Amino acid sequence: MTELKLRLKEGSTDKIVKVHQDVFTIGRLPECDLYLPFGGISRYHARLVKKSDDVWIIEDLGSKNGTHVNDTMITGPQEFHHGDVIWLGNVSLLVILNDHSPQAPKLFGDGEQRTILRNVKQLQQSWIEAEGKEGSDSNKDKTIARLKDLVDIAKNLSAAASIEEIFSQVQKVVFRYLNSIDRLALLIDVKGCSKLELMSAGVRVTSSEKNLSADGSWVSRSICQKVFEEKIAIQIADAQSDERFASEYSILINDIRSAMAVPLWDENKVVGVLYADAHLSSYHWEEEGEQELSFFSALANIVASSVQRWLLAEKLKNEEVIRQRLERYHSPAVVQQLIEVGALPDGRLPPQESEISILFADIVGFTAISERMTPTQIAEMLNHLFEEMLQEVFAYGGTLDKYIGDCIMAFFGAPEQQPDHAERAVAAAQGMLIRLEHLNANNFWQEPLQLRIAINSGKAVVGDVGSSQRVEYTALGATINLASRLESICPPGECVVSEATYQLLNSNSAFYEMGEYRFKGIDRLVKVYQTKMHQP
């Protein structure tokens, strides 16, 4: 007797509906057998009619949006089959037809025996022992051939530089010896967060499978996740008869019958899963199933080492890219710390609110100076000066935000928290002024240069901001705006700080109060303090 079920998917809704009667109505009214109170569904939308034990048809009942079977709108009674998708508006119903006839062929006897779950380490040893005990010369030859291939693939994989090369080697061996397999996929936990990503997939050339989905929709994620988390090997002779997997969407929609999955286990760490499936139930697995699963597992163990090497190479490559980018903003010591603590998801620093001290430093009279210089000379002067000043910023654990013309914008307190960010900013400012005095004394440039430096402290949003084409690590907020305004009242060769910064300093004897000022865009008086280097 054939049982009809419908798997309902609408937004986040996902449930199994059993069809018990021979005429089954679907619509938006509560009296329908399947009540769907969703937009696009008519009051009486469609009905299912049982014509014989294993034949069902669907009829549209004059609905506004029509009824589709797969991609075709029906214009009259339409027969449907297992795996078809019925669309009513935006609601989809996956057809599940389970044959419980007593004449249905059995593969392994009872349901539990249709699926093999084995400890991976035991499988690797049992395969060799089981093959070795076979008395047949053909079986011994088969074992020797397989062992030779495992040795060869181990040699080839050691030289593989990409995941595509690794998969290509594995695919050749799998399709050569496991005749029941139609498709093969390699999934890897690339980011080390227990989330498997499909890396490569292949289909047997002689397979009837025409379209191999690039998105991996045909891979059973629940089987792979179970293998990955529990460190077991799974072989399912008839997935649609095993209650643990029979209702999974990928198995149903792709009509998967048999499947095999083993973990890529490198020592004590699982780095991925090797997955294979077929459309036909594997009857021969009743005799050879465990041996094939053992071989598949032994192969995966070799692959795991290559995948682990590839992951390490990718990690080093990504870290180098991250390091080169971040060293534009941070001192080498800070960059190393960020990489070691893993604070860089996808190589980016997400924006977050931080307590910081922001520093602006620009050249006094730059416009007049640049009038007397060629563009090449201006660039040369700025490059030399910025290189010297940045050493003071980095020496106190500061972060370069950007260069704005002749201005240096830097901050302290992010990305790593620094409770003494105000002290660091002031020390860096004093170091910049002293360093510039020494440079001028040694005729650093054609004429002496001076800086104005302003510092403000407070909350700001700090992180990577921009588009997919260009990203900048920067600080945003009112704290930054005030620091920029403060610079306009700073005397040449001095440093000024806001009251917020002044209050955070452990020793503020190096500053005296200049007075209260009003700045554009700020609706309050701001008390400002100046260094005593040239106190009037």
- Residue 37's pLDDT is 85
Cβ count within 10 A of residue 54:
14
- Residue 243's pLDDT is 58
- Residue 47's pLDDT is 95
Contacts of 339 (CB under 8 A, 6+ apart): 319, 322, 323
> In the numeric block, which tokens belong to residue 42?
């008519």
The rounded radius of gyration (Å) of the Cα atoms in the chain is 35
What residues of the chain score a pLDDT lower than 50? Answer: 12-13, 100-113, 127-128, 130-135, 207-208, 210-211, 535-536
pTM, 2 dp: 0.48
> In the numeric block, which tokens belong to residue 108?
């392994």
Question: What are the residues facing 25 on neighbouring strands?
Answer: 47
Alpha-helical runs (H) found in 134-254: 137-159, 163-177, 221-230, 249-253
List pLDDT tens digits, range 38-84: 878 999 999 999 998 789 999 999 998 899 988 788 999 999 988 88
Contacts of 245 (CB under 8 A, 6+ apart): 220, 222, 223, 236, 239, 251
> In the numeric block, which tokens belong to residue 253?
């929609």
- Residue 496's pLDDT is 96
- Residue 364's pLDDT is 95
CA distance 359 to 399: 10
- Residue 143's pLDDT is 60
- Residue written as token pair 């809704």: 13
Contacts of 298 (CB under 8 A, 6+ apart): 123, 124, 127, 150
Cβ count within 10 A of residue 368:
8
- Residue 421's pLDDT is 96
List pLDDT tens digits, range 471-488: 777 899 999 999 999 999
Look at strands 46-52 and 67-69 and give their pairing.
unpaired
Contacts of 458 (CB under 8 A, 6+ apart): 355, 356, 477, 478, 479, 482, 500
* Count, residues in the chain: 536
CA distance 391 to 406: 17
Cβ count within 10 A of residue 266:
18
